[in-house]
Amino acid sequence: MEILYKSTRGTGKSITASQAILQGLSEDGGLFVPDSLPKLALSFEELSEMSYQETAYEVMKLFLTDFTEEELKYCIAHAYDEKFDTEEIAPIKKAAGAYYLELFHGSTIAFKDMALSILPYLMTTAAKKNQVKNEIVILTATSGDTGKAAMAGFADVPGTKIIVFYPKNGVSPIQEKQMVTQKGGNTYVVGITGNFDDAQTGVKKMFNDREMAKELSAAGYQFSSANSINIGRLVPQVVYYVYAYAKLLKAGEIQTGEKINITVPTGNFGNILAAYYAKELGVPVGKFICASNENKVLYDFFETGCYDRNREFMLTSSPSMDILISSNLERLIYRIGGNDPDKNRSMMDSLAKTGKYEITEEMRQNLKEFYGNYASEEETAETIKKIYEDTGYVLDTHTAVAACVYEKYKAQSGDSTKTVIASTASPFKFTRSVMNAIDEKYDALTDFELVDKLSQIGGVKVPDAIEEIRTAPVLHDRICTAEEMPETVKKILGI
């Protein structure tokens, strides 16, 4: 069955998966969604015997129907290889009454690697399929994590270049070190004298600049984006939920057909939406537990049916969830509203104009599978400390938000369904917050002393991603103002 993609906002024509990956966002501002979702072709008994790569093929072929078997297997083999520090790719750790699905064994030790390690291959394959001759230039603005994960994915991938802009004084020392030491002849990192919004606005302007697009094309280049609304990032994320279910079955932790709950620490709503798609494919899921930090727009939305971004933006210890507009939620809104582009568009217009929208009572009825709650900064720290003291397992701050919300859900509902918690970052990525939560005395240590201490108390080897940056030479030192961004890009591309 061929799956086509259409915009959540338009009545425009449907396009193939490879075209949707190349385009990223629809011209009408909407997100691409599959026109239907098939069921998994294999039973979970069969899937339980499969490797991560084999599972990835079984899942991704259902969404990316215009890719050949050979193309998909090529992409998968190049993405999920020794860049991951475990053959399982996404191992499951049982601790404190839940199953932690560790999505942080890739090159930047956070879950963005799960999708960004394959996106470059999907994109270059899609370009070939659509006779795109230009070299693809990925432009990204980052507040720290995505830029690094995108560079790690695109580094030395033939036919691509990647340029990352980050706020020079707005990322953590470890994040900056991770970026400026990035290897790869096709990677470029630029610090801008401004904040993340300036960087993001600058990148958006370049995407919309027709003159610049012409100049680029004449020189054999075209821009593309690696951001989280690209279906080339969403689809690879469905894989690990199918894989997790199959592995729990194999380990005898669940019975065939038994429902599980899935808890996800949420920001842009991509990861939890992937879990929702996994259910559509046939994974038996009871509840989707959506965990937020103090930026609790989603919690309020699930409580009231009103999405309202008009509020103070909080900086928390789980920065990858510090978001007031969860872009991928639009795909769910579209679906629960009966796949009606007009209805969806009017809500998104309202979000753009007034910062809020309200869904109908009928749509709320379709959200029954979702439970939302949030964890305060204090609760997050307490959760890290408690789980460490009870079990020895060390959670990162984002995963701790999820663990805390899961406990709230259990207490409120009395539901004892077995639960998978998406563990989205290694504690080594947010060492200071994690160690301070365990004991304030650690605050006196330097960043790398903290790393060694964490390794010691958690009984886990320091990940290579951290080891490498201790001594890695700085390879990038470009700096510019927000206004100079287009000029800098042209200089990099030699035009």
Ligand X SMILES: *Cc1c(COP(=O)(O)O)cnc(C)c1O
Site for ligand X contains 268 (CB under 6 A): yes
Instruction: Report how many residues bind ligand X under the rule CB under 6 A.
Output: 17
Could you say which residues in the range 316-345 bind ligand X, by CB under 6 A?
320-321
The H or E element containing residue 33 is strand 32-34
CB 377 within 8 A of CB 316: yes
x/- letters, 192..231, toward ligand X (CB under 6 A): ------------------------------------x---
CB 317 within 8 A of CB 400: no
Quick one: which of 269, 393, 409, 428 contacts ligand X (CB under 6 A)? 269
Go through the chain and tell me how many residues it has: 495
Could you say which residues in the range 5-24 bind ligand X, by CB under 6 A?
none
CB 245 within 8 A of CB 261: no
Site for ligand X contains 112 (CB under 6 A): yes
State which residue, 99 or 104, has the beta carbon closest to ligand X: 104
Quick one: which of 32, 100, 111, 276 contacts ligand X (CB under 6 A)? 111
What residue type is 445 in one-letter code? L
Q: What's the closest the beta carbon of residue 334 comes to ligand X, in angstroms?
A: 17
CB 212 within 8 A of CB 382: no
∠ CA 406-409-413 to the nearest 5 degrees? 145
Rounded Cα gap, residues 142 and 124, in angstroms: 22
Site for ligand X contains 233 (CB under 6 A): no
Site for ligand X contains 398 (CB under 6 A): yes
Quick one: which of 33, 190, 249, 425 contacts ligand X (CB under 6 A)? 425
Of these residues, 83, 112, 177, 279, which one is catalytic? 112
Q: What's the closest the beta carbon of residue 274 comes to ligand X, in angstroms?
A: 8
Site for ligand X contains 463 (CB under 6 A): no
Rounded Cα gap, residues 334 and 363, in angstroms: 10
Q: What's the closest the beta carbon of residue 385 comes to ligand X, in angstroms?
A: 19
Site for ligand X contains 275 (CB under 6 A): no
State which residue, 67 or 288, has the beta carbon closest to ligand X: 288
Token digits of residue 51 = 């490797």
Stretch that binds ligand X, among 175-183, 265-273, 330-338, 487-495 (CB under 6 A): 265-273
Q: Does residue 112 carry a catalytic annotation? A: yes
> DSSP of 357-387, one letter per residue?
EE--HHHHHTTTTEEEEE--HHHHHHHHHHH
Q: What's the closest the beta carbon of residue 228 comes to ligand X, in angstroms?
A: 6
What residue type is 363 in one-letter code? M
Rounded Cα gap, residues 371 and 407, in angstroms: 12
Site for ligand X contains 267 (CB under 6 A): yes
x/- letters, 405..424, toward ligand X (CB under 6 A): -------------------x
Stretch that binds ligand X, among 18-26, 67-75, 242-250, 264-272 (CB under 6 A): 264-272
Other Cβ atoms less than 10 A from the Cβ of 491: the count is 13
Site for ligand X contains 277 (CB under 6 A): no
CB 136 within 8 A of CB 217: no
CA of 363: how far to CAs of 7, 31, 330, 352, 359, in Å?
Answer: 19, 19, 13, 20, 6
Site for ligand X contains 265 (CB under 6 A): yes
Rounded Cα gap, residues 381 and 319, in angstroms: 14
Burial class (CB in 10 A: 0-12, 13-18, 19+), 91: middle
Stretch that binds ligand X, among 32-40, 66-74, 117-125, 262-270 (CB under 6 A): 262-270
* Residues catalogued as catalytic: 112
Task: Give the interface with ligand X as residue ranges (CB under 6 A).
Answer: 110-112, 145, 228, 265-271, 320-321, 398, 424-425
